[in-house]
């Protein structure tokens, strides 16, 4: 792929993996818009990138279907047809064990991590089908392939569901020229760590995967020719077992 002037939408782009990928793609020459729930946070995040053009921003709650439809409509009008979507929006909660998991928290995690991805797919795919071209990255989690106790049942359930969406829709859309890659990061040094029940020490964070590492994976996959698909990609810190 020639990245020059490619149009990219990143959800969850206000921090963490989303922002890291957004900045990396902008540095490659893409025109990138970041979406997230907090407009002020998005503007602060966009200021981290000083290239030209800068990052576009648009507030959007991916769990609200009308918000997502508005985001996609705004993108088409302001930037143009979407070439790449990076879906990085996601949350976890502090009280995550089943014995203490509040039903409202469970619903919120599912709404953002799973239904949010569906909403983005539902809104973005028609334009890609019409152009018979598109690349979608779903930032899932190793907890979306292995139900790890550390992640908690709500997060694991939401990521398993998002994984299934990415896989099933990817198979359906291949004939339409649309490729979907599920990325499964292990422990990543992002603000999501603030929702851990036990604070994470600085030395542990330093040894984790970093957003720039995920961005490098996205760029490597995006560089592949259109006749090649990478359905799944697992990336973990060297200390984290994956089996």
Mean of per-residue pLDDT scores for the chain: 96
Say if CB 60 and CB 71 are below 8 A apart.
Answer: yes
- Beta-carbon count within 10 A of 109 CB: 25
Residue 215 above 80 pLDDT?
yes
CA 208 to chain centre: 18
Structural domains of the chain ordered from first start: 7-235 (3.40.50.720)
Let me know how many helices (H) and strands (E) the chain has, helices first.
8, 7
Say if CB 82 and CB 9 are below 8 A apart.
Answer: yes
pLDDT at site 209: 97
Q: What is the pLDDT of residues 133-157, one digit of tens each?
A: 999 999 999 999 999 899 999 999 9
Residue 10 above 80 pLDDT?
yes
| Least confident among 48-57, 156-165, 193-202 | 193-202
Collect all residues with Cβ–Cβ distance below 8 Å to 153 and sequence separation of at least 6. 96, 97, 98, 101, 147
Active site positions, annotated: 140, 155, 159
Nearest to 217 by CA among 157, 133, 140: 140
Nearest to 79 by CA among 115, 41, 140, 31: 31
pLDDT at site 196: 84
Most confident of 51-60, 111-120, 188-197, 200-209: 111-120
Residue 160 above 90 pLDDT?
yes
pLDDT confidence band for 48 (50 / 70 / 90): confident
pLDDT confidence band for 76 (50 / 70 / 90): very high
Residue 238 above 80 pLDDT?
yes
Say if CB 41 and CB 61 are below 8 A apart.
Answer: no
Cα–Cα distance measured from residue 79 to residue 156, given in angstroms and rounded to the nearest whole number? 35
């Amino acid at each position: 792929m020639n990245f020059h002037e490619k149009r990219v939408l990143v959800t969850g782009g206000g921090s963490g993996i989303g922002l890291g990928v957004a900045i990396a793609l902008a540095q490659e020459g893409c025109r990138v818009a970041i979406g997230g729930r907090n407009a002020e946070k998005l503007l602060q995040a966009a200021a981290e990138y000083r290239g030209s053009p800068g990052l576009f921003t648009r507030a959007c709650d991916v769990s609200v279907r009308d918000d997502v439809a508005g985001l996609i409509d705004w993108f088409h009008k302001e930037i143009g047809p979407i070439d790449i979507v990076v879906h990085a929006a996601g949350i976890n909660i502090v009280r995550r064990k089943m014995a203490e998991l509040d039903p409202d928290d469970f619903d919120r995690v599912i709404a953002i991590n799973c239904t949010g991805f569906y909403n983005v797919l539902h809104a973005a795919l028609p334009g890609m089908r019409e152009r018979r071209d598109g690349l979608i990255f779903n930032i899932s989690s190793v907890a979306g392939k292995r139900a790890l106790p550390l992640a908690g049942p709500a997060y694991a359930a939401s990521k398993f569901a998002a994984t299934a969406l990415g896989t099933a829709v990817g198979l359906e859309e291949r004939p339409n020229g649309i490729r979907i890659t599920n990325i499964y990061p292990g422990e990543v040094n992002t603000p999501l760590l603030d929702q851990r029940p036990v604070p994470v020490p600085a030395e542990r964070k330093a040894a984790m995967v970093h957003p720039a590492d995920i961005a490098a994976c996205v760029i490597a996959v995006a560089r592949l020719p259109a006749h090649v698909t990478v359905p799944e990609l697992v990336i973990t810190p060297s200390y984290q077992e994956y089996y």
